Amino acid sequence: MQKIVVANRGAIARRIIRTCAEMGIQTVAVYSEADAGAPYLAEASEAYPLAGVQPVDTYLNQDALLAVAQNCRADAVHPGYGFLAENAGFAQKVIDNSLTFIGPAPRWLAAMGDKVSARALLAERGFPMFAGSDEVRDAQSAAAAAEKIGFPVMVKPSGGGGGMGMQIVREAAHLEDAVMRARAIGVSAFDQAGVYLEKYIEQPRHIEFQILGDGQGHAIHLYERDCSVQRRNQKLIEESPAPGLAPDRLEREAAKSAEACAGLGYDNIGTLETLFTPAGDMGFLEMNTRIQVEHGVTESVTGCDLVALQIGLARGDGLPTQPERKGFAVEARLYAEDSESMLPSTGRLSVFRPPRMFGVRVETGYVQGQVVTPFYDAMLAKIIAHGQTRELAIGRLCVALQAFAVEGVKTNATLLRRILQSADFLAGRVDTGIVDRLMGER
């Protein structure tokens, strides 16, 4: 593998370019008109513009991306996360153009991208499930499924992710409207109309397991990440190891996740996401068939380069030996948004100075003077702190957030520090409701 097109933008594009440089692989960056000032364009071996600013015209434009790959004689495409990363059709087009798609095979993107299909596949491997339904096609089938599952239920689009379209329903009178809303969002956001129901778990822990498979019936895990700190189903803070849960239990569940993926014949990288109830029961949530935004947390505690492992698996390398986990890592997502309203904040970054600190890693696709536009995700940077103790990692992260100088847009740094310094977070008492409780204390 000699040259890779990085079919993405921002922090993940820069992250892929860095690893490729270390591996001696040339990179081709692509960029929209809005991203013309991005720092990674000069760091790539080559860079090509995509006409327009809207995602559909640029980073979602399959024909334009493939044309770049052919014109620059690349031999592979790395989709990063978001955009086309889990698009089975795009992956197949990459392969049909005699290029290597750096990710799971298209059949896994399709199977795991449909949440109903993913539930069925993992259930067949004996993975624990909370009560749920097949796809519901009308109000009658939804009502029958909800009665069988028991209220409250979560209504979800069967495609897509990121919490989009999910609706909590606590009584039958609101079910039909929720199904209609979820279906409409599924169509507009993911071009999929499928909707299904799951048992709604009150204040769960969101625990995910990092998996690597070789497609030959072998898989390993790289331990777990706790992603419970969320607001409106969007992750804000992730860490590893997960606090307050028995390490031997987590090791067993991680091994179970790897075993299930090995049995399926899964290839390349994946993240098996689960929920833990307050009583300690675990159930499958979804499978993400790409590198995660929070992959740096796992890299910090294992010493692995997950992008390098993705590339290696795509070119036929074997699985690595499972590494030891060392220390603690905590990541915060710094967004260009108002901490109170969560509305995006746009403008020119008149000041943008990421901190340089021992034990702290910053991933960003921005530099001072660049414009934060409304066209893409509002994430400015990911700050990952590592330490020999959880307390040390949290402390380093708090200092880094305080030292991160940003002017020209609003950020959620104040909210992030408030969460990190809260009594519940410091004690490891985290669940998906922690941010709402803190916001309610104002």
User: Catalytic: which of 290, 325, 333, 396?
Assistant: 290
| Structural contact between residues 254 and 356, judged by C-beta atoms closer than 8 angstroms | no
Copy the structure tokens of residue 199. Answer: 């048992």
CA dist 256 and 32 (Å) reads 42
* Catalytic residue flag (residue 290): yes
Beta-strand pair 26-31/267-276:
unpaired
Q: Which residues, at least 6 apart from 403, have a Cβ–Cβ distance to it below 8 Å?
A: 355, 357
Buried/exposed code over 159-172 (b: 16+ C-beta within 10 A; e: otherwise): bbbeebbbbebeee
Q: What is the 3-state secondary structure (H, E, C) of the chain?
A: CCEEEECCCHHHHHHHHHHHHHHCCEEEEEECHHHCCCCHHHHCCEEEECCCCCHHHCCCCHHHHHHHHHHCCCCEEECCCCCCCCCHHHHHHHHHCCCEECCCCHHHHHHHHCHHHHHHHHHHCCCCCCCECCCCCCHHHHHHHHHHHCCCEEEEECCCCCCCCCEEECCHHHHHHHHHHHHHHHHHHHCCCCEEEEECCCCCEEEEEEEEEECCCCEEEEEEEEEEEEECCEEEEEEECCCCCCHHHHHHHHHHHHHHHHHHCCEEEEEEEEEECCCCCEEEEEEECCCCCCHHHHHHHHCCCHHHHHHHHHCCCCCCCCCCCCCEEEEEEEECECCCCCCECCEECCEEECCCCCCEEEEECCCCCCEECCCCCCEEEEEEEEECCHHHHHHHHHHHHHHCEEECCCCCHHHHHHHHCCHHHHCCCCCCCHHHHHHCCC
Copy the structure tokens of residue 100. Answer: 């290597």
CA dist 438 and 417 (Å) reads 12
Q: Which residues have a catalytic role annotated?
A: 290
